[in-house]
Amino acid sequence: MSARKKTKKTRVVAEKGEESKVRDSQAEDSAIEGSALEDTTVAAAQPAEPAEELSVEEQLEQALEEIARQRDLHLRALAEQENMARRQERERGDRARYAVEPLARDLLEVVDQLEMAVEHAGAGAENLVQGVSLVLNGLGSVLERHGVERMEAEGEAFDPAQHEAISIVEATGDSEEKPRPDCVDRVVRAGYRFKDRLLRPARVVVARAPAADSSSESEKGKKGDES
């Protein structure tokens, strides 16, 4: 019995010791938390350093700079709005001005076919040629009223912006019947303008200087050098 009592006392003492250690640990944690809370409260209670006050002149200068910046932004926005309005107005005008351009381009194919019919009409087809010519002239008048103009290219200086060269022939330019070099010798398909635009280029045969002329010029140059 005495041994059991001793064991029981020992357990009670051990448990009391553990409880005491737990209480001491909790007390230390509470003390630490309280210290941290006090530090935070003290730091929050301390007044912040006042910002450096600007003088009246500096405040006025900042206000004027901000006004100038806002004015510049406003002017830029107005200019962009005006440019957009002008661009839209120009696009609307172009759409109205050139609205019939696709139709005119398609009608030119009809004109080409009528011209070929007149050109290749056989003998005894005078009445047919006369009728087709009347239709062709009427169609040309309609196109002309709507701003479509036929370009005269034969004999003119070759212009790659308006002429499409499909062949090259040699020409001396000694007579009016033979075109000068770098000029249009013959028009295969007429070109047209639509108001201030090129509707389609003229397909042409271009004349160039004969090779004999270039060789003779080189010989003349050699003789001149020898003399």
User: What digits encode the pLDDT tens for the residues 141-151?
Assistant: 888 888 899 99
Asked if residue 82 belongs to a domain, the reply is no
Q: Is 105 exposed, middle or buried (0-12, 13-18, 19+ CB in 10 A)?
A: middle
How far apart (Å, rounded) are the C-alpha atoms in residues 18 and 24? 10
For the chain, the domain total comes to: 1
In a domain, 207, yes or no: yes
Instruction: List Cβ neighbours of 226 (8 Å cut-off, separation of 6 or more).
Output: none
Residue 159, domain extent: 148-212
Query: Does residue 194 sit within a domain?
Result: yes
Q: How large a percentage of the chain has pLDDT more than 70?
A: 66
- Rounded (5°) CA angle 102-108-114: 150
164 inside domain? yes
Express each pLDDT in 101-156 by its tens digit: 888 888 888 888 888 888 877 767 787 888 888 888 888 888 888 889 999 888 88
> Is residue 45 in a domain?
no
Q: Which residues pair with 183 in a beta bridge?
A: 157
1: confidence class by pLDDT, cuts 50, 70, 90? very low
Write the pLDDT tens digit of every residue in 179-224: 678 889 989 999 999 988 899 999 999 998 776 554 555 555 555 5
Cα separation, 145 vs 141, in Å, equals 6
Position 9 in a domain: no
Residues whose CB is less than 8 angstroms from the CB of residue 34 and which lie 6 or more positions away in sequence, other chains included: none
Q: Which two tokens stand for residue 149?
A: 């103009």
For residue 166, what pLDDT band results from cuts at 50, 70 and 90? very high
Residue pair 158/206 in contact (Cβ under 8 Å)? The answer is yes
Minimal CA–CA distance to 171: which of 161, 160, 151, 157? 157
- Output phi, psi for 139, to 5 deg: -65, -40
Question: What 3-state DSSP class applies to 102?
Answer: helix
CB atoms within 10 A of CB 146: 13
CATH number at residue 155: 2.30.22.10
